[in-house]
Amino acid sequence: MSDKTYPPSDEFVANAHVDAAKYKEMYAASIEDPSAFWREQGKRLDWIKPYTKVDNVSFEPGAISIKWYEDGTLNASANCIDRHLETRGDQTAIVWEPDDPEADARHITYRELHEQTCRLANVLKDMGVKKGDRVVLYMPMIPEAAYAMLACARIGAIHSVVFAGFSPDALGARINGSGARVLITADEALRGGRKTALKSNADAALLHCDDRVQCLVVKHTGGQTTWTARDHDCKALMAEASTDCPPEEMSAEDPLFVLYTSGSTGQPKGVVHTTGGYLVYVAMTHELVFDYHDGDIFWCTADVGWVTGHSYIVYGPLANGATTLMFEGVPTYPDASRFWQVCEKHKVNQFYTAPTAIRALMGQGDEFVTKCDLSSLKLLGTVGEPINPEAWNWYNEVVGKGTRPIVDTWWQTENGGHLITPLPGAIATKPGSATLPFFGVQPAILDPQTGKEITTTEAEGVLCIKNSWPAQMRTVYGDHERFEKTYFADYPGYYFSGDGCRRDADGYYWVTGRVDDVINVSGHRMGTAEVESALVAHPKVAEAAVVGYPHNIKGQGIYAYVTLMSGEEPSDELRRELEQWVRTEIGPIAKPDLLQWAPNLPKTRSGKIMRRILRKIAEDDYGSLGDTSTLADPSVVDGLIEHRLNKG
């Protein structure tokens, strides 16, 4: 892994909210007296009844309990909308960029956001939705998705957003799991010029749900025809509804939403986030990690179906009175220039995306980027997987012209917001490292064998967090035991992330992937991410996934799945070249024992490579692939199995 450092420019530092000295001082203060630190940060929000208590947390096995600002009351939607009306009523809250580049973009002001949210909140109330009820959202990336989330928050209903790419089965399971009585969906979603029949999927899902579930349908494309007794026309009802809906007074610890993890490692978990601490934390990280300044245009390319969309399209930016961009489409439609065209068109200042998108676009060539005017960009960000240094360098040089800080943010659905990340004006970055902890976060690296914390600066092991932060998940929906078992049982007294990690001599953290992704080859422990990064660094390789498999002599062997750049053809010669390449890049120990050409890799709907499935294929174990319901394209797996059987 690269150890070259990239400090922010003097110009960036001069304007930044936090510089190196301030980071050190504030971090120390946040660790010395967390209650005082977070008491102060809580003032970012408007409270109905101010809190007197700040943190009340127990990581004690059998008694896990996490509470922040517990005696305060507030409303999240009022914090994201109402409090901005006086000063920002006419400012754009949401820029909406449609799938079709020829269609009109929309600029929704805070005043309009207020009006629409209140209307939808009143529609929900009229349908009988009350404080504490669950509402499932199955929505395209349209403004109504944000209105729906905020409308739920306004009346105290708990939203559970299900990514619109999920199947009827996955949707039905989540409706039943949450006991929701209202589903909000749209006729169709439009992505990359292709329509997905959301309403038909919803109909299929609802066949397996309680008859009393009602369905609010947003007519978006106009393409849906079937209509049943439980369906309501969302826009028509909104048009008739009142624009006045007083926000419900919520306790800081009332749930704001339930959201399922992406399922890369097993069955998705229903993560519960509450109101006060979550909102304080996402507002703070949005401002400081992206160095957001008043008037900036912020674009997070995630889908609202993921936590990244919750925290950094909706709640964080809107709590800060920011302008947030919401994009309906995909990075490669009409062509691989779309992201950059949108940046140019809307003069985007901060751009936040995932390594999977960067790798895909990198494979298409630089011209798609260089033909656009990206001069408005001030900062780039990534989240979701470890970013290979090769992809980082491309992002930095081709997109950022070598002058924009890159924030590689490590966090999880469970965390609510960034935990390990550079602060762009304070911390010199290293390609592939998420660098240092955010304020109030105390990472710990534990030895997986002994379970003991490794206290030397240089360390390698499993990544845990020693203390709580305000946006930490509170429980698994309806299953507190699973919460305790998953996150607090293996290493008592710590929050266990499930990720492997290395800390270098500068104290920088390098997340190496899931703990399960560490392989042991002839007694050498090695993160699969390292081998993948070496492969991706080869000019003909677009993507790679590496897993371990049982090997008679070495204990574990290295199995590499390789996707080539568009236009490259697999050959035995290239196979040998790649094996040799890894030998030279890392060492003979890392040479793949088996290398399989993979036209595509199995990914979750959020774009993460599902290594647990690749592991099964490598082990020749096709019978028990586990939960595959969150796979983006299940046929990819069949293709790989077939190839494996033919020893391709």
Least distance between Mg ion and beta carbon 269 (Å): 8
Q: Would residue 432 be called left, alpha or beta, if left means φ above 0 and alpha means ψ between -120 and 50 degrees?
A: left
587 binds, among Mg ion, ligand ATP, none (CB under 5 to 8 A by kind): none
144 binds, among ligand ATP, Mg ion, none (CB under 5 to 8 A by kind): none
- What's the CA gap between 496 and 411, in Å, rounded? 12
Q: Is 522 labelled a binding residue?
A: yes
Cα-based angle 106, 357, 92 (whole degrees, multiple of 5): 20
Residue of the chain from 264, 323, 393, 467 that contacts ligand ATP (CB under 6 A) = 264
| DSSP per position, 476-528 | ETT-HHHHHHHHTSSSTTSEEEEEEEEE-TT--EEEEEEGGGEEEETTEEEEH
77 binds, among ligand ATP, Mg ion, none (CB under 5 to 8 A by kind): none
Position 262 contacts ligand ATP (CB under 6 A): yes
Q: Is 499 labelled a binding residue?
A: yes
Q: Is 303 labelled a binding residue?
A: no
User: Coil, strand, or helix at residue 419?
Assistant: coil
530 binds, among Mg ion, ligand ATP, none (CB under 5 to 8 A by kind): none
**Among the candidate windows 225-233, 256-264, 311-319, 357-365, which touches ligand ATP by CB under 6 A?**
256-264
Least distance between Mg ion and beta carbon 419 (Å): 13
Q: Is 514 labelled a binding residue?
A: yes
Rg of the chain over CA atoms, in angstroms?
24
Bridge partners of residue 545, in order along the sequence: 561
Residues between 237 and 276 that touch Mg ion (CB under 5 A): 261
**Contact 6/428 with Cβ under 8 angstroms?**
yes
Q: Is 191 labelled a binding residue?
A: yes
Residue of the chain from 177, 263, 309, 422 that contacts ligand ATP (CB under 6 A) = 263
- The residue assigned the tokens 């709907």 is 605
Q: Would residue 536 be called left, alpha or beta, if left means φ above 0 and alpha means ψ between -120 and 50 degrees?
A: alpha
- What's the CA gap between 148 and 66, in Å, rounded? 27
- What's the CA gap between 27 and 440, in Å, rounded? 7
**Among the candidate windows 62-70, 242-250, 263-271, 399-407, which touches ligand ATP by CB under 6 A?**
263-271
- Whichever of 420 and 426 has its CB closer to ligand ATP, that residue is 420
Question: Which residue in 47, 51, 21, 48 sits closest to 35, CA to CA?
Answer: 51
- Whichever of 56 and 442 has its CB closer to ligand ATP, that residue is 442
Q: Is 100 labelled a binding residue?
A: no
Q: Is 538 labelled a binding residue?
A: yes
Least distance between Mg ion and beta carbon 499 (Å): 8
- Whichever of 133 and 517 has its CB closer to ligand ATP, that residue is 517
**Among the candidate windows 262-270, 320-328, 477-485, 555-563, which touches ligand ATP by CB under 6 A?**
262-270
Q: Is 412 labelled a binding residue?
A: yes
- What's the CA gap between 533 and 393, in Å, rounded? 12
**Residues near ligand ATP (CB under 6 A), total:** 24
Residue of the chain from 434, 574, 601, 636 that contacts ligand ATP (CB under 6 A) = 434
User: Coil, strand, or helix at residue 58?
Assistant: strand
Least distance between Mg ion and beta carbon 397 (Å): 31
Residue of the chain from 175, 189, 383, 536 that contacts ligand ATP (CB under 6 A) = 383
User: Coil, strand, or helix at residue 396?
Assistant: helix
Least distance between Mg ion and beta carbon 613 (Å): 15
Position 261 contacts ligand ATP (CB under 6 A): yes
- Whichever of 487 and 549 has its CB closer to ligand ATP, that residue is 487
Position 410 contacts ligand ATP (CB under 6 A): yes
Position 413 contacts ligand ATP (CB under 6 A): yes
Cα-based angle 593, 595, 596 (whole degrees, multiple of 5): 145
Position 511 contacts ligand ATP (CB under 6 A): yes
Q: Is 114 labelled a binding residue?
A: no
| DSSP structure class, residue 114 | H
User: Coil, strand, or helix at residue 320?
Assistant: coil
Residues between 275 and 294 that touch ligand ATP (CB under 6 A): none
| DSSP per position, 239-304 | HHS-S--PPPPEETTSEEEEEE---SSSS--EEEEESHHHHHHHHHHHHHHTT--TT-EEEE-S-T
- Whichever of 73 and 421 has its CB closer to ligand ATP, that residue is 421
**Contact 88/321 with Cβ under 8 angstroms?**
yes
Least distance between ligand ATP and beta carbon 387 (Å): 7
- What's the CA gap between 328 and 326, in Å, rounded? 7
- Whichever of 231 and 385 has its CB closer to ligand ATP, that residue is 385
User: Coil, strand, or helix at residue 592?
Assistant: coil
Residue list for the binding site for CoA: 191-194, 308, 522, 583
Residue list for the binding site for Mg(2+): 536, 538, 541
Query: Which residues contact Mg ion by CB under 5 A?
Result: 261
Query: Which residues contact ligand ATP by CB under 6 A?
Result: 261-266, 268, 383-386, 408-410, 412-413, 434, 497-499, 511, 514, 606, 608
